[in-house]
Amino acid sequence: MWPLDERTPRAARRAVAGLLDRWGVAEADADDVVLLVSEVVTNAVRHVRRELRDGGVVRVRVRVTGGRLRVDVTDPEPGCPRLGAAGENDEGHRGLIVVAACAGRWGWRPGPGGGKTVWWTQDVTRGGRRAGRRLIHGCGRAVLVLLARGR
The DSSP string of the chain is -EESSTTHHHHHHHHHHHHHHHHTB-HHHHHHHHHHHHHHHHHHHHHS-HHHHTT-EEEEEEEEETTEEEEEEEES--S--------TT-SSS-HHHHHHHH-SEEEEEEPTTSSEEEEEEEE--BSTTTTT--SS-HHHHHHHHHHHTT-
Could you report the per-residue pLDDT of 73-125, keeping only the tens digit for each?
999 999 888 776 666 666 666 788 889 888 999 999 998 788 999 999 999 88
The total domain count for the chain is 1
Q: Residue 151: which residues within 8 A CB-CB, separation 6 or more?
A: 86, 94, 97
The CATH number linked to 17 is: 3.30.565.10
Look at the alpha carbons of 107, 102, 43, 75 in this order and tell me if their dihedral is positive or negative: positive
Could you tell me the residue range of the domain that residue 129 belongs to?
A: 2-148
Model confidence at 151, pLDDT cuts 50, 70, 90, reads very low
Could you report the per-residue pLDDT of 2-30, keeping only the tens digit for each?
999 999 999 999 999 999 999 899 998 99
Distances 122 to 7, 62, 117 between C-alpha atoms, Å: 26, 11, 17
Q: What is the pTM of this model?
A: 0.81
